[in-house]
Structure 1
Amino acid sequence: MRAAREAVVALCRGLVARGLVVGTAGNVSVRDGDRIAVSPSAVDYAELTPDTVGVHALDGTPLDAPLRPTSELALHVLLHTRDGAHDGEVVLHTHAPASTALSTVVDEVPLTHYYSAFFGGAVRVAPYATFGTPELAAHVLAAMRGRSAALMANHGAVLVAPAVAGALDRAAYLEYVCDVALRALGTGRAPRTLDAAEIDRVAGVLDGHGQGPRGGYAAR
């Protein structure tokens, strides 16, 4: 689990560097076999070390967790055990400004950019529930059916990446998609959007370049 714990530290710091979280907000987990490494609660990411990253069973039971885990542990557990989940996946929960703002005004992100193909189509907004509750986790899981990302109303965003490599880029693409949609909606005009068939076509192209759901993440 050492590599998974080290990855959590690097990913947390990467979220800060990219402006995708503020303070100690947000959280990260990495699945390694039948265990997950999860960021702890309320720890400055600059001071986070691999030894302070908790290790939990897939049902959330702490195995080696010196600190209190993130309040969203239930969400991470649900996503790492959902239908189709696999070893090595990463769950990133961000509090980035564009995605959070957009979550307050739409029910799903308009298909204003083909990067939406990275997430399986239009990203849905999960209904609001208090952070850290089973209700919120259930809302997010439902919103992510057939998708690899969701916005959380009045809260932030969450995504599942297939691997540590490229996970931060995937989070940045999600924020970019939300920022483009937010700016377009801000003009007061109806944005020109892509249809689902085009998103499927783009997804196939990305897969062919090793950039789709099971490949790398460099955008074209």
Structure 2
Amino acid sequence: MLLEQERRDLCLTARALATAPGVAPGESATLSVRSGDLVVVTPHGVPLDQIQAADCPVMSLDDRMMEGRRDPAAETTLHMAVHRQAADHGREVTAVVNAFTADTVAVSSVLAELPPIHHRAAGLGGAVAVTPYTTYGTGDIADQAVKALKGRDAALLSNHGGMALGRGLEHALENLRLLDWLCATYLRARQLGEPRVLSEDELAAISHRDTYGWAGPDIW
């Protein structure tokens, strides 16, 4: 079986996502992981918590299905576009997760951009772009997502949800959870008033601070 370990890892990550709070039931997410020129993606028509390794299609970067007993998920076009972009530009991205969570859908249906109101936003690249609305599973949404992810590890898809990239499935899922938390935090802050947004200089200072350990750059 091609990419057997990657398929098993994909199933485990899908099950972990299925139990996360705020995730829509059923086929509420698409996950993929790349190894070289091959990509494993979650299948169409199977709930996240029921996916088996043999269900998961293996795709080539030129969109050919190489193996798998089920068809790929509708969002495979989106995932393959992101994987090709990462491979072409030498980004350390091997995994992509997109999901419909209550908070990412809420923010993506209202804002044109999720502003950075907490320093953890720097880990995703700062402000998170929201793509224009396009029908899911199409080339249009793939093109818009690739643009939104330029220099970023996350994006919001208008009226659809969030997506995140990572150096592996665990990292991509961590980034998706961070995106979801940032959306929830913003929504809660707006209930109190207009949140203070971190500036580009403040985000740059955070990135600089992250290069140090507990002592920081100026403790001495």
Normalised TM-score (structure 1):
0.88
Counterpart of 1:63? 66
Of 18, 22, 37, the residue aligned with 1:16 is: 18
Deviation string, structure 1 residues 181-205 (Cα, Å, up to 9, x no partner): 1122233x22111111222222334
Counterpart of 1:151? 156
Q: 1:77 to 1:124 in 2, by over 3 A?
A: same
Counterpart of 1:202? 206
CA drift at 1:21: 4.1
Deviation string, structure 1 residues 96-153 (Cα, Å, up to 9, x no partner): 1111100111111011111111111100000111110111111111111111111011
Counterpart of 1:174? 179
Deviation larger for 152-161 or 196-205? 196-205
Residues 58, 81 of structure 1: 8 Å contact kept: yes
Q: 1:127 to 1:206 in 2, by over 3 A?
A: same
Q: 1:174 to 1:146 in 2, by over 3 A?
A: same
Q: Does 1:138 align with 2:143?
A: yes
Structure 1: 5+ residue runs without aligned partners? 210-220
Q: How does 1:75-94 map to 2 (within 5 A)?
A: 75-82=78-85, 83-86=88-91, 89-94=94-99
Of 41, 45, 49, the residue aligned with 1:46 is: 49
Q: How does 1:119-138 map to 2 (within 5 A)?
A: 119-138=124-143
Query: Aligned letter for 1:192?
Result: R
Query: Aligned letter for 2:82?
Result: L
Counterpart of 1:73? 76
CA drift at 1:88: 6.2
Structure 2 CA distance, aligned partners of 1:43 and 1:122? 33
Q: How does 1:98-113 map to 2 (within 5 A)?
A: 98-113=103-118
CA drift at 1:164: 2.6
Q: CA RMSD in A?
A: 1.7
Structure 2: 5+ residue runs without aligned partners? 214-220
Deviation string, structure 1 residues 46-89 (Cα, Å, up to 9, x no partner): 22111111100012210002111110111111110114355761
Counterpart of 1:213? none
Residues 7, 30 of structure 1: 8 Å contact kept: no
Q: 1:144 to 1:178 in 2, by over 3 A?
A: same
Residues 128, 156 of structure 2: 8 Å contact kept: yes
Structure 1 CA distance, aligned partners of 2:146 and 2:127? 15
Question: Tell me, what secondary structure is at the counterpart of 1:158?
Answer: strand
Structure 2 CA distance, aligned partners of 1:55 and 1:167? 19
Instruction: Report percent identity of matched pairs.
Output: 29
Question: Tell me, what secondary structure is at the counterpart of 1:59?
Answer: coil
Deviation string, structure 1 residues 28-51 (Cα, Å, up to 9, x no partner): 000011100000012022221111
Query: Aligned letter for 2:49?
Result: A
Q: 1:88 to 1:143 in 2, by over 3 A?
A: closer
Deviation larger for 105-114 or 196-205? 196-205
